[in-house]
């Protein structure tokens, strides 16, 4: 079953009728075609979301690198801290401790503080004051965690994930096309990449209703990839 969250009203009966007329298809049951197209759209959304969420990409690595570098700079600053500056910070920690002991734990957690209440962990201990040594240890841990996490993200051959959602959608569309007409499910493109065959026009116009900013080349290239893989196809995903 495809979760309900992936369904959305994408095609009206009028839109389906226009799609079929444009493609030279005269279905006996326009409502059946509409329901199939809506189902295919939901499958696409589910698959596309899954692929994107599993692809860390360079953006995540950059974020982790930024955290690691900033933590390293702050750690270096703390290590060079003068005794007077260190004493001033620890004095603020003592002030936070006094404030934390005089307020409920929930109030203490709501504001930045060098006093960490831990009554939920140990009944005989109200909290811990973070001194310079502890602060260095925590920030050093953050630096190493971000640095190692960035290294562990798998390197992909391309920063752009494979368009598996579209390929699966096209597979389902090919099956539907065979039900609607005896016309060949083929693709030819014009000088600007626009579809020239009825099947190509049908698929591109239908997909544009899911992804309005889609370029013709994306669908046409997908149809080409599907054509090359057709012999190895294992079938369609249906809910």
**180 with 121, same domain?**
no
pLDDT in the model for residue 176 = 93
45: in domain: yes
Burial of 39 (0-12, 13-18, 19+ CB in 10 A): middle
**H or E stretch covering 39:** helix 30-53
Our CA angle for 218, 41, 173, nearest 5°, is: 65
**62 with 136, same domain?**
yes
239: in domain: no
237: in domain: no
**202 with 134, same domain?**
no
40 has a pLDDT exceeding 50: yes
> For strand 115-117 and strand 127-129, is the pairing parallel, antiparallel, or unpaired?
antiparallel
**64 with 134, same domain?**
yes
What's the rounded Cα separation, in Å, for the pair 152 and 147?
Answer: 9
What's the rounded Cα separation, in Å, for the pair 10 and 38?
Answer: 6
Query: Of 101, 126, 152, which closes a domain?
Result: 152
**139 with 76, same domain?**
yes
185: in domain: yes
Query: Of 152, 173, 207, which closes a domain?
Result: 152
**97 with 122, same domain?**
yes
pLDDT in the model for residue 154 = 64
Report the DSSP beta bridge partners of residue 117.
Answer: 127
**81 with 118, same domain?**
yes
**195 with 116, same domain?**
no
> What is the separation, in whole angstroms, between the first and last Cα of the chain?
4
* Model pLDDT for residues 89-126, shown as the tens digit of each residue: 989 888 888 887 776 555 545 567 787 777 654 455 57
Number of domains the chain contains: 2
Return the structure tokens found at 6: 């992936």
CB 101 within 8 A of CB 95: no
170: in domain: yes
CB 24 within 8 A of CB 125: no
**50 with 112, same domain?**
no
Backbone angles phi, psi at 184, to 5 degrees: -70, 145
**133 with 212, same domain?**
no
SS3 sequence, 54-115?
CCCHHHHHHHHHHHHHHHHHHHHHHHCCCHHHHHHHHHHHHHHHHHHHCCCHHHHHCCCCCE
**166 with 148, same domain?**
no
What's the rounded Cα separation, in Å, for the pair 224 and 101?
Answer: 69
The domain of 118 spans 58-152
Q: How confident is the model at residue 223 (pLDDT cuts 50, 70, 90)?
A: very high
Q: Which residue, among 171, 201, 196, has the nearest Cα to 40 in the 3D structure? A: 171
Q: How confident is the model at residue 43 (pLDDT cuts 50, 70, 90)?
A: very high
90: in domain: yes
Q: Is 130 left (phi over 0), alpha (psi -120 to 50) or beta?
A: beta
**47 with 66, same domain?**
no
127: in domain: yes
Q: How confident is the model at residue 56 (pLDDT cuts 50, 70, 90)?
A: low
User: Does the global pTM surpass 0.85?
Assistant: no
Query: Of 152, 183, 218, which closes a domain?
Result: 152
CB 189 within 8 A of CB 196: yes
For the chain, the C-alpha Rg in angstroms (whole number) is 29
183: in domain: yes
Q: Which residue, among 77, 72, 91, has the nearest Cα to 144 in the 3D structure? A: 72
């Amino acid at each position: 079953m495809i979760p309900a969250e992936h369904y959305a009203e994408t095609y009206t009966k009028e839109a389906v009728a226009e799609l079929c007329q444009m493609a030279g298809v005269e279905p006996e049951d326009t409502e059946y075609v509409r329901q199939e197209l809506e189902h295919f759209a939901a499958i696409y959304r589910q698959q596309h979301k899954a692929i994107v969420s599993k692809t860390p990409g360079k953006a995540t690595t950059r974020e982790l690198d930024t955290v690691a570098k900033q933590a390293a700079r702050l750690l270096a600053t703390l290590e060079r801290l003068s005794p007077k500056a260190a004493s001033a910070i620890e004095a603020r920690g003592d002030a936070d401790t006094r404030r934390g002991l005089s307020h409920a734990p929930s109030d203490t957690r709501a504001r930045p503080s060098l006093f960490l209440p831990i009554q939920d962990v140990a009944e005989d201990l109200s909290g811990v004051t973070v001194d310079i040594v502890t602060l260095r240890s925590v920030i050093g841990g953050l630096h190493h965690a971000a640095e190692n996490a960035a290294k562990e993200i798998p390197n992909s051959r391309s920063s752009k994930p494979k368009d598996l959602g579209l390929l699966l959608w096209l597979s389902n569309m090919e099956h539907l096309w065979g039900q609607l007409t005896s016309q060949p499910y083929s693709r030819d493109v014009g000088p600007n990449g626009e579809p020239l065959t009825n099947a190509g026009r049908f698929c591109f116009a239908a997909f544009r209703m899911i992804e309005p900013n889609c370029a013709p080349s994306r669908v046409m290239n997908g149809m080409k990839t599907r054509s090359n893989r057709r012999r190895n196809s294992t079938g369609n995903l249906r809910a």
